[in-house]
Amino acid sequence: MTKTNRTNYLKLKAVENSSVAVKATFRGVNLSYSYDRKTWVDFSFREIEQETGCFWGEYLSPEITINEGKTLYLRGDNSLSMNNIIQFVMTGKIEAKGSLTSISRTAFYMRMFKDCRALVKAPRLPAMDLAAYCYQSMFEGCWNLPSAPALPAIKLAYACYMCMFKDCRALIKIPKLSATILADDCCWGGLWEIEI
């Protein structure tokens, strides 16, 4: 366990009793959690057999419980990319707040909340300069997400928003793109396509 005074966190608040686990496509994930922002526990990961379907990762953390009304704080130091992906696995109802930059040095969040039907609020997305595929499928399959975060990025890249809100069935309002010049195929595959 590590003690710290750092204030930059990704916050997962439980609207009802909930849980969160983490899947990763790479060894050496640097991610820790705290309930009180004083005592931090590193996530441990075990190798899992290759799955088929929605995720192609190889490592899984144990499930961490979050009691109703409580917040789980996350922080880490990772360089996420096409080969280094972190994906949350959630149950219950969870609001995500705070900073995604607290878990990754790079603005790359591909599939991070994919199929998280427990997600009812998305975190802010502050990146202004996007990389190719950086938000691909980030919220895909988040059936209970009623509103999308603002998309303030000015500089877009190839497929950066690809399938970002695909199959978000509860989505009431579609986010406005801040960028006035779009990159080739920045929304390739559809930004908010709904499959019924």
CB 166 within 8 A of CB 142: no
Which string of DSSP letters, residue by residue, matches 46-103?
EE-PPP-SS----EEPPPEEE-TT-EEEEEE-----SSS-EEEEEES-EEEEE-GGGT
Residue 55: count of CB within 10 angstroms of its CB: 18
pLDDT (0 to 100) of residue 53? 53
**What angle is formed at CA 9 by the lines to CA 63 and CA 123, rounded to 5 degrees?**
80
pTM over 0.85: yes
pLDDT (0 to 100) of residue 176? 82
The amino acid occupying position 122 is A
Percent of the chain whose pLDDT exceeds 70: 87
Condensed to tens digits (0 to 9), the pLDDT of residues 17-38 reads: 999 999 999 989 999 999 999 9
State how far the Cα of 63 lies from the Cα of 188, in Å rounded to an integer. Answer: 34
Question: If we measure between CA atoms, which residue out of 87, 82, 54 comes closest to residue 160?
Answer: 82
State how far the Cα of 26 lies from the Cα of 49, in Å rounded to an integer. Answer: 13
Q: Report in angstroms the alpha-carbon separations of 91 from 6, 46, 95, 155, 193.
A: 28, 20, 12, 34, 24
Task: Return averaged pLDDT per consecutive 10 residues of the chain, 196 residues in all.
Answer: 61 98 93 97 88 63 98 95 94 96 93 97 92 94 94 91 91 83 71 55
